[in-house]
Chain A
Amino acid sequence: MLTFGRACLLLALGLVVFGIAASVYGARRERAEWAAAGRRSVYALFGVLTVAVVIVELAFARSDFSFRLVASHSSTTTPLFYKLTAMWSSQEGSLLLWVWLLSGWSSLAMLVAGRRARALAPWAGAVLLTFAGFFLVLVNFLAHPLQLLEPAAVEGNGLQPLLRHPAMVIHPPMLYSGYTLAAIPFAFAIAALLTRRVDAAWIRQTRRFLLGSWLALTFGILLGARWSWSELGWGGYWAWDPVENAALLPWLTGTAALHSLMVQEKRGTLKTWNVSLALITGILAILGTFLVRSGLLESIHAFGASTLGLPFLAFVVLLIGGSLTLVLWRRDALRSPARLDSMLSRETIFVFNNVVLVGLALVILWGTFFPLISEALAGERASVGPPWFSRFTVPLAIALVLLSGIGPLLPWRRARPGSLWRLFAIPVGAAAAATAAGLLVDPVAGSPRALALFAVATFVIAAVGQEYWRGGRARRASTGRAWPIALGGLVARNRRRYGGYAVHVGIAVMLVGVAASSSFQQVRDVRMKPGDRATVGAYEIRYERPTADVQREKLSLGAILDVRRDGRHVATLRPSRGYYPVADARTVGTLGRWFEGESTSEVGLRAGIRRDVWTVVEPDLQPFRRMIDGIDRRFPLADAQMEPLFLQALAERYTLQPPPAAFRMIVAPLVIWVWIGGLVALVGALVAIWPARRRRRAGGRAAVPRARPATVIERV
């Protein structure tokens, strides 16, 4: 199987070479049969890579430790669910996942656009195959996922403990889907520049893929944040970690592109800006992968220094240089004929929104790469922390949320100044009411940034609510249907618009959660013995008793905490620390090996609509050191029967003579609204991306109505 898989990866590289040649030849000579062969190479690439992925997955499922990848990232005790997802916990496996996803999305793009955009598709196919080629070179020659381990290991190292979380199963494929989907607008933008067809055709072919990229990145980022909050044990969901930022960068420029592409579609303007945004988003997606995979910047996602830094850097430089050259080369074709009619128009707000989004991306890019910049300039690595990011990003985020409320209220082309009061009265009134209410609440009044965010978020929710209400009312008047049906019809008739509005509400709600939880959270670090109490905010937390649990692959030492508010029981929390053993007991001892490996925090969390109570525990193992060392000395190589007995003895002693333990306790308001807002945004994006119901002709081409044109226009 291993040899067959290796051969498949070489065949994939061969397909890439043939596909690029066939596509370019077909495009240059206008030979449809060559272009079709190029397209088939993309489909075949997906098929062949699927075979390779299945081989790797089967090896994980069967715990075949003759595969080096399986031996180093799985074990017989790893649950099947995690075995099947262990592939992307490794450098090699995640590169294979990347190129497999890319080939899948590229196949879909070729299937959708292959014959409709005949001039663009072959060039776009060649670009996508070049992306795939780069990753296949890495996979085949620098980080091969199908390496033989001889002799095969008896037992594997197991999956990294931190990754044993349901969110981590979906988080990497989601982010990689976001990155790989962003390659499709990039490829079509390159094709548009090469063919000088910079009209709206390339946008039409790639709009859904860009939205798909946004959707996947949003979901991936949210899952990562959720994992951080409920698993990492540091007490937050966003740390401005380089790898987190790497996903946020294409998300920001992709969001900008989704808005500005609409301006080009409707007004024929912003061509240079749009093509540049698509290119930048694609490049940032590669840069994101580069940051995760190169080990260039220190991160909680550290995969260590690797040999991939230089090839990635060369590829990113090639992409930037090539894109810049193409844009400059085609600057005449990119000149836009139309201008914006008025400052009071939706398209003008989109331009402002783009400026803010790109500003945010630049700030985050600078902060992320500051360690490298400082090292290059001053010879010393210095990094910027969350306060630096907050100083710049919070004002920009407030401006962005405000614009996301103003945009839906303004019409395309121009609004009459006289109509502004009618359009803005309710949202402005709601924002003013929220501000007044905030000023009456003690901690909010003292935080101008949080107050401003609450006000603008209320403005957005009221503005979008007004849009739904007015649209629904008009629909109801024209159809005579009941409110829910009228609203449903309104959304179904214009999914992009109303799905997009829901996204605005989701982001506004999310930022309310972020503002409240980051501004008003209360943190307490305490050391307690059973029976001790600590107060955090309005809560009293009592350390009831210790817990210990011995499992095949981990030892958990924890605590049971009783949480009370105003004397009433609110929750019972069970934070714990999981200790995973290292494989080799010879150097660290039978019992010592359980404390020399990795350890993770299991968070004790009580999530609520108004606030989360979050706790972690760090048991003090010092009092057990003598017992551990004594057993290690007397039984240096205990067998499989003895070891659980020693562990059980340790666990019993921990529960009978518990030492003091260190606790971190956090009461954070409105955290759940971060997840609720994210879900609303995801649902909105799904509505927007969902294909409109339309008549289809045989052969799958989008149907332009066959009635007389004049009749069709009248029907609209």
Chain B
Amino acid sequence: MAIELLAFLVLVTAVAWWVVAPLRGRPASEGSADLAALEADWEARIAAVRDAESDLQTGKVAPADHQALDPELRGAAFAALRALERARARDDPQRRCEP
């Protein structure tokens, strides 16, 4: 019983010490930008370019239709990538807190 109590106290101390570790340091920010939305946008745009190309290769769309659509899709992907790169440039990795 005493050993169990001691083991539990050790466990509680270790867990509490580890969980609140981020609070012991100076207040941290994880950077200004929330990249998730931008990354999601970039992935979706690039997937749309690939899908359109795949639709062309498998004969689902005519070359003329693909030629009309492709610049629009690539333009959107380009814009999404630029936005993401700009956000990343603003983001300061030194200020992130772990984990």
Contacts and interface: CB of A to CB of B under 8 A. Distances in A.
Given A37-B22, A40-B99, A412-B48, A471 B36 contact: no
A44 B30 contact: no
A138 to B, nearest CB: 22
A704 B34 contact: no
B26 to A, nearest CB: 8
B34 A36 contact: no
Contact of B20 (A37, A199, A200, A478): A37
Nearest to A119: B34
Interface in A473-506: 474-475, 478, 493-494, 497
B62 A416 contact: yes
A510 interface: no
A704 B39 contact: yes
B97 A204 contact: no
Contact of A713 (B47, B58, B78, B84): B78
Interface in B19-44: 19-23, 25, 27-31, 34-37, 39-44
B40 A203 contact: yes
Contacts of B37: 197, 199-201
A111 B47 CA distance: 25
Contacts of A1: 4
B60 to A, nearest CB: 4
A391 interface: no
A31 B36 contact: no
B99 A709 contact: no
A37 B98 CA distance: 9
Nearest to B98: A36
Nearest to A19: B19
Given A7-B8, A713-B49, A716-B46, A413 B78 contact: no
Given A415-B61, A704-B81, A33 B40 contact: no
A434 B18 CA distance: 64
Nearest to B42: A704
Interface centre among B36, B41, B53, B59 (most CB of A within 10 A): B36
A712 interface: yes
B57 A44 contact: no
A179 B18 CA distance: 29
A47 to B, nearest CB: 7
A713 B41 contact: no
Nearest to A475: B57
Given A3-B4, A40-B18, A118-B36, A419 B30 contact: no
Given A4-B4, A11-B11, A423-B59, A115 B96 contact: yes
Given A40-B21, A474-B57, A716-B77, A201 B82 contact: no
Contacts of B88: 704
| Prevailing SS type, chain A contact patch | helix
A473 to B, nearest CB: 8
Contacts of A467: 58
B4 A116 contact: no
B87 to A, nearest CB: 10
A8 B11 contact: yes
Q: What bracket does the count of chain A residues touching chain B fall in?
A: 35 or more
A470 B57 contact: yes
Contacts of B4: 1, 3-4, 7
Contacts of B98: 36
A411 B60 contact: yes
A411 B54 CA distance: 9
B23 A37 contact: yes
Given A40-B21, A204-B39, A471-B58, A114 B99 contact: yes
A115 B88 CA distance: 13
B88 to A, nearest CB: 8
A94 B23 CA distance: 35
B92 interface: no
B99 to A, nearest CB: 7
Contacts of A293: none
Contacts of A105: none
B96 to A, nearest CB: 7
Contact of B11 (A48, A115, A712): A48
Contacts of A48: 11, 15
A204 B48 CA distance: 15
Contacts of B8: 4, 7-8, 11
A39 interface: yes
Contact of B41 (A11, A114, A199): A199
Contacts of A118: 30-31, 34, 36
A471 B39 contact: no
A702 interface: yes
B23 to A, nearest CB: 5
A113 interface: yes
A34 B15 contact: no
B45 to A, nearest CB: 9
Contacts of B50: 493-494, 716
B28 A33 contact: yes
Contacts of B28: 32-33, 36
A410 B60 contact: yes
A75 interface: no
Nearest to A7: B8
22 contacts: A1-B4, A15-B19, A30-B29, A35-B30, A36-B97, A36-B99, A37-B21, A40-B22, A44-B15, A118-B31, A118-B34, A201-B37, A409-B60, A411-B60, A416-B65, A419-B59, A419-B61, A423-B59, A702-B39, A709-B78, A713-B74, A713-B77
Given A32-B29, A44-B19, 14 more contacts: A3-B5, A4-B8, A8-B8, A15-B15, A33-B25, A36-B28, A113-B36, A114-B99, A266-B51, A412-B52, A471-B57, A493-B50, A494-B50, A494-B54
Report, nearest first, the 10 A-B pairs whose CB atoms are least far apart.
A474-B57, A117-B36, A411-B60, A204-B40, A36-B22, A411-B55, A201-B37, A201-B36, A470-B58, A32-B30
